[in-house]
Amino acid sequence: MKILLYQYFDPPINFNKNYWDYSISSIKKYAEKIDVEYEFISGGAPYHPQYGILIPFIERWCDDYDLLIYVDCDILATSNSKNIVEYVNFENININHMNTGPLIVDPIESQSPWFEDGHANSGVVVFPKKIYLDFINYLGNLKHHWARDKLNGNFNAPNTFGGGDQQILNMYAKENNRKLSNLHYDFNFHMSRYDQSQRFCSSLIHYHGGLSKRRNNNNRKLMIEDYFCDKILK
């Protein structure tokens, strides 16, 4: 089986807190540990950097792989991390359904219980080959997705799924009642949602900023500090 783990990031101009460098180092090592290919992509996302996760599908080279694993650049792998491939459902997109903490969106009318108390977080997403064509067809040329994101206030409107890639993946599941498989939070330990003291017990720690700028700065600072301890893979 041919598997690619990839990351995408467009470094901001004059941004000196290069936390993504630590993520790239750790996640590249994680790819080696689980014996899959690794690629870091910078630039080329259509419309907005948050669409970078979609590049394999937009550029149509996804078919070169049997499985694609996307990991955000604010994530570190732990030294005791498990192999995410062993926990994948090869029938559906695998993504963590978040149902705790302040980011819960209002319930959405749906046949699926997926949206009753939260939404999926796109920090770590696993795409099996079986869904490639359906997902490509859903994406289209991205114009209608981009129009919806702009209408929602550039990813920050209330009662949405966050805009960008996250909005698209949640709407992909919601529309036509498509299925998503719930990826265990062990592979997306969201620092703004779970007990931070337990983070090193997980496989992939997500140092997402959460709602406030202050929390964002604290998480990113902690990410850099954590990188230099022996509990992080590097």
**pLDDT in the model for residue 102:** 42
Residue-wise pLDDT tens digits, 105-133? 333 333 344 445 567 889 999 999 999 99
pTM: 0.88
Architecture of domain 3-227: Alpha-Beta Complex (3.90)
| pLDDT score of 211 more than 50 | no
User: Are 66 and 78 a contacting pair, CB within 8 Å?
Assistant: no
Domains of the chain, by residue range, sit at 3-227
Question: What mean pLDDT is predicted for residues 186-205?
Answer: 91
pLDDT number for residue 216: 47
212: pLDDT confidence band, cut at 50, 70 and 90?
Answer: very low
Question: Which tens digit of pLDDT belongs to each residue from 52-106?
Answer: 999 999 999 999 999 999 999 999 999 999 999 999 999 999 998 876 444 443 3
Residue length of the chain: 234
**pLDDT value for 152:** 55
Is the pLDDT at 219 greater than 90? The verdict is: no
CA distances from 66 to 59, 72, 127, 140, 183 (A): 16, 20, 9, 21, 18
- Residue with structure tokens 């149902």? 99
Using one digit for the tens of pLDDT, what is the confidence trace for 3-43? 999 999 987 655 545 788 999 999 999 999 999 999 999 98
Give the other-Cβ count within 10 Å of 201's Cβ.
13
pLDDT, the chain, mean: 84
What's the Cα-to-Cα distance from 120 to each of 95, 97, 166, 208, 230, rounded to whole Å?
6, 4, 7, 14, 30
Mean pLDDT of all residues in 219-233: 93
Which strands, in side-by-side order, build the sheet including 180-182? Answer: 37-41, 3-8, 67-71, 119-128, 93-98, 180-182
- The answer to whether the beta carbons of residues 19 and 207 sit under 8 Å apart is yes
